[in-house]
Chains A and B, each alone.
Chain A
Amino acid sequence: MIYEKEKDITLFTKFKRNATTLFLDPVWQGKQEYKKGEKFNIILSPSLYWVKKVQLPVKYLREVKKLLPSIFEEILPDGHFSYSAFKEGDSYYIFAYEDKKILALLEAHGIHHSNIAGVYFAQGELDIEEQVYQINETQVIYAKDDIVIVAPKIWFATSVPLDLQNHKIHSQSITLQQYGHIVNKGALYKISGALVVLIAIIGTQIMLTHEKINYIESLKENIFTKYKLYPTMMQNRAILAKYEGIYEIQTKLRGFIALFLKLPLKKSQKIVLLEYDKKRLHVKINGIKKEEGMQVFNTLTQAHIKYKTHYTKSGVIVEVAL
């Protein structure tokens, strides 16, 4: 890594930050020293990417990008590659590079990815025409057939050191995929998209369910208003239980009276008293002897009514609890 110089990058004239331009060369073994928060523009050595100048029958760059993996398929070694392209005249410069390898090299030189302002290819960023630039003790870069390539220094009689002191960045930066090797970008988008859609569907369900809850609550409030119910269901249940109790007792009272009036009494046997108080019904029947009782009250037994009898001289008093 050689030749550095701070330069100003002005964004909308308002935000200003300093970035040092560095040439990233795999041969250089040192560590880059820098201040905390300092940013770097990284120009990649041709050793770090594959480049081709091609002419393709497509109009837009996005169409070219789709073709890149298949164009490089046969020349690239095994690995996880990212692709990039830019147009110059009628030709396209197409690139393939290994994010992981570049990031590892930067890490090895002590540059953390948070300190990187932008990453650029030497091709396109460096305007090399007739000149041969020395990039380390043994290598140079020069342009051959419009392609910037690395060559041994000894091939050339003369070369000048690459000076980036006054270099102004002018090409488009590429984004290094830190995690591209972990997950396939396309698959990640698809899975993330599916998860987001699923979350959105569930979110909508939650919203709709909340609306239903609010609607039913308003219906419930209407019931309370319409039927003048007490504020709590506990009170209402207690009152309902009270009225249901009254209904049950009154139904039983009427049923028991009807049963007593239908008892198979002889002419000499008469009901002389019918008294109901404190949920107890007393019926006094004159003219019934104890031995006749069972037969007379058989109707009550069949109806599973529990009763008590108290025989007197004149007859019997029957007691039924309601």
Chain B
Amino acid sequence: MNQLNPLHIGALLLVLLAFSCFKLQEVKKELLEIKHSYHESEKVALDLNKLKSIYANKQKIKHTLEKILAYNSLKKAHLQISKNKTTIKITTDSIEYKMLNFLMGKILNAHYNITKLKIKKLTDTTASLYMEIQW
């Protein structure tokens, strides 16, 4: 015949309700955090992917540079190209301004990571060039 006090049942239900409200707030907070984290990851991933494809894609850099250097207008420039694991060096003791303008126009208009550059006027029509591009 022992019975539960209805006030105890009510109190238990209220405690349960309070606990579930608290739990709901917690999971909602967690959801907001995970949403924020997801959007951040997505943004970082897209930006990183875009920038990596510009500055860290060796094949692409090599291919586009070879394309530029293969232009007829640069064939007489006697450009010396040397590559190592991290950089490509383009040098010449003397290059005509026309060719230099063409070359620099192509390189500066593309997304290469130029780490060193030295253009020195030799005569009214020629200059020397030293350039390092990191890949």
**22 examples of A-B residue contacts, CB within 8 angstroms:** A114-B1, A179-B5, A183-B7, A195-B17, A199-B17, A202-B17, A203-B20, A210-B27, A213-B27, A213-B34, A220-B34, A223-B42, A227-B45, A246-B51, A246-B113, A247-B51, A247-B55, A250-B112, A253-B114, A273-B120, A276-B114, A277-B117
B62 at the interface (CB under 8 A from A): no
Q: List A contacts of B13 (CB < 8 A).
A: 192, 195-196, 199
A307 at the interface (CB under 8 A from B): no
Bitwise interface map of B from 15 to 33 toward A, beta carbon under 8 Å scored 1, else 0: 0110011011001101100
Question: Whole-angstrom distance between the alpha carbons of A97 and B86 in the complex?
Answer: 97
A171 at the interface (CB under 8 A from B): no
Interface size on A, residues (CB 8 A): 58
Question: Whole-angstrom distance between the alpha carbons of A178 and B117 in the complex?
Answer: 95
**Inter-chain contact B1/A116, CB cutoff 8 Å:** yes
Which are the 7 A-B pairs with shortest beta-carbon distances?
A: A243-B51, A116-B1, A227-B45, A195-B13, A202-B20, A276-B117, A272-B121
**Inter-chain contact B1/A275, CB cutoff 8 Å:** no
* Distance from A55 Cβ to chain B, minimum over Cβ atoms (Å): 33
Question: Whole-angstrom distance between the alpha carbons of A66 and B67 in the complex?
Answer: 96
Q: List A contacts of B56 (CB < 8 A).
A: 243
B111 at the interface (CB under 8 A from A): yes
- Partner of A276 from B3, B20, B30, B116 at Cβ < 8 Å: B116
Question: Whole-angstrom distance between the alpha carbons of A209 and B119 in the complex?
Answer: 62
Interface of B, secondary structure class, is helix
B68 at the interface (CB under 8 A from A): no
A216 at the interface (CB under 8 A from B): yes
**Inter-chain contact B10/A209, CB cutoff 8 Å:** no
Q: List B contacts of A219 (CB < 8 A).
A: 38
Bitwise interface map of B from 86 to 111 toward A, beta carbon under 8 Å scored 1, else 0: 00000000000000000000001001
A17 at the interface (CB under 8 A from B): no
Q: List B contacts of A237 (CB < 8 A).
A: 44
**Inter-chain contact A178/B10, CB cutoff 8 Å:** no
**Inter-chain contact B2/A236, CB cutoff 8 Å:** no
- Partner of B1 from A175, A217, A226 at Cβ < 8 Å: A175
Q: List A contacts of B30 (CB < 8 A).
A: 209, 213
A167 at the interface (CB under 8 A from B): no
- Partner of B117 from A183, A199, A202, A274 at Cβ < 8 Å: A274
Q: List A contacts of B111 (CB < 8 A).
A: 247, 250
Question: Whole-angstrom distance between the alpha carbons of A113 and B5 in the complex?
Answer: 13
**Inter-chain contact B48/A177, CB cutoff 8 Å:** no
Q: List A contacts of B52 (CB < 8 A).
A: 243
Q: List A contacts of B5 (CB < 8 A).
A: 178-179, 182
Instruction: Contacts A202-B24, A233-B41 given; indicate if A192 touches B48 (C-beta within 8 A).
Output: no
- Partner of A113 from B2, B27, B108 at Cβ < 8 Å: B2
**Inter-chain contact B1/A239, CB cutoff 8 Å:** no
Q: List A contacts of B108 (CB < 8 A).
A: 254, 257
